[in-house]
Amino acid sequence: GLTTRLQNVFSKLRGKGKVSDEDVAEAMREVRLALLEADVNFKVVKEFIAKVKEKAVGKEVMESFTPGMVIIDIVNKELTDLMGGSQAKLAKANKPPTVLMMVGLQGAGKTTTSGKLAKMLQKQNSRPLLVAGDIYRPAAIKQLQVLGEQIKAPVFTLGDQTSPVEIARQGLQHAKDNGNDYVIIDTAGRLHVDEELMEELRQIHSVVNPDEVLLVVDSMTGQDAVNVAEHFNQQLNLTGVVLTKLDGDTRGGAALSVKAVTGCPIKFASLGEKLDALEPFHPERMASRILGMGDMLSLIEKAQLNIDTDKAKEMERKMRNAEFTFEDFLEQMDQVKKLGPIDQIMDMIPGMGKMKQAKDLKVDDKQMGRIEAIVYSMTTEEKRNPDMINHSRRKRIATGSGTSLAEVNRLIKQFDEMRRMMKQFSDMMGPKGGGKNKA
């Protein structure tokens, strides 16, 4: 996938103390190919590469201590910008109700997203009304009613014999009469963009004057999703996009192109069929996920709930100063175990996802036990100064822990790699690298 390809490009740059113009050019060629292969719009790719190049050839990068990391940081920032920079909030009407009109092709996820949005709004103590505006698809009304029952949200319908425009008009009035502060209008879709449908949507639009016109697009459809978005935007002045099916095997093209092509921000991401699988879309998180830096922010949020903060701060300080030892590693493993199934956690740690893939490393709780055995077989001195663990010490550790020399070598190599990446990552996130995220 895109992430693996980008990681390969960057692992070449990462360790370098000096980066030549050719290195940069070569890396950019590969980034370009990786993006195109991920089905990102070619114009978007072209502009993206130009921007990154412009920043990457600067003096600052070449003279930096870790030029490779500076370049990754530049790419990360540009990817974030490409997806809208910061999180785009849902509009709110000055005078309630706030009207949300859901549009998109058939099967994109309009109806389910309507239910998910209603649930999200309820959690914020709002009282959304769902309006069943798709009278064409068999059972579309029933589908919305079932969703409404599940979350105990009212669903307004006039059956399938009244025009969607009239349903929308009366639905809005119903919300006003009943004190609903949000109205979510589910509409019909077609398999392809079609003039008749657009006309109907324009009429609904002019009758309800929505605060948000949210285009629901299936991220699995890649560039097609972007073409659809462009079309709808010309007809309806979209205010935002909801990307669905991001839980599937999407190549990332839609997420990366849709904002650049339409100017419409992605406001929500849907990652599953369940009603709570909708999230506000965070460009910076998506960018780091794409770059395989793991979803550090999500991990940090998760960790904050479970981890001793004083210890975590101390750990962070050590990582910054490259003082991280095998003793810390053991403690870290203890903390990590509290977070949940290990293979899920590993995916969120920068570099780990890649390591798992590249080395075909199966990390499970049993594996953790072997790793712990190796570390326990080190002397205190060795744990504190991993660099002193030479060949004969490794052999001793392997025997002591009942593992093999190869396993010990692998662990130490991974440890070194992790230590280096953590340091680089924290430099990048810190004030020096300037890549600090707001959250």
Euclidean distance between CA atoms 337 and 430, whole angstroms = 27
Please report the sign of the dihedral spanned by the C-alpha atoms of residue 29, residue 33, residue 38, residue 41.
positive
The answer on whether 159 is annotated among ligand-binding residues is no
Structural contact between residues 185 and 99, judged by C-beta atoms closer than 8 angstroms? yes
Q: Is residue 248 close enough to count as binding ligand GDP by CB under 6 A?
A: yes
Q: Is residue 109 close enough to count as binding ligand GDP by CB under 6 A?
A: yes
Calculated CA dihedral for residues 222, 225, 230, 234, nearest 10 degrees: 180
For ligand GDP, the binding residues in 167-226 under the rule CB under 6 A are 189, 216
The answer on whether 250 is annotated among ligand-binding residues is no
Q: Is residue 325 close enough to count as binding Mg ion by CB under 5 A?
A: no
- Partner from Mg ion, ligand GDP, none contacting 325, C-beta within 5 to 8 A by type: none
Among the listed residues 14, 110, 251, 259, the single contact to ligand GDP using CB under 6 A: 110
Nearer to ligand GDP, 112 or 325 (CB): 112
Of 87, 80, 84, 59, residue with least CA distance to 435:
80
Structural contact between residues 215 and 229, judged by C-beta atoms closer than 8 angstroms? yes
Of 370, 366, 350, 381, residue with least CA distance to 410:
370
Among the listed residues 111, 180, 221, 257, the single contact to ligand GDP using CB under 6 A: 111
Structural contact between residues 86 and 284, judged by C-beta atoms closer than 8 angstroms? yes
Q: Is residue 41 close enough to count as binding Mg ion by CB under 5 A?
A: no
Euclidean distance between CA atoms 424 and 358, whole angstroms = 20
The answer on whether 108 is annotated among ligand-binding residues is yes
Name the one range near ligand GDP by CB under 6 A: 107-115, 155-163, 230-238, 366-374: 107-115
Nearer to ligand GDP, 84 or 189 (CB): 189
The answer on whether 414 is annotated among ligand-binding residues is no
The answer on whether 55 is annotated among ligand-binding residues is no
Structural contact between residues 373 and 340, judged by C-beta atoms closer than 8 angstroms? no
The answer on whether 134 is annotated among ligand-binding residues is no
Residue type at position 304: Q
Annotated binding-site positions for GTP:
104-111, 186-190, 244-247
Contact residues for Mg ion, defined by CB under 5 A: 110-111, 140
Contact residues for ligand GDP, defined by CB under 6 A: 104, 106-112, 189, 216, 244-245, 247-248, 270-273, 277
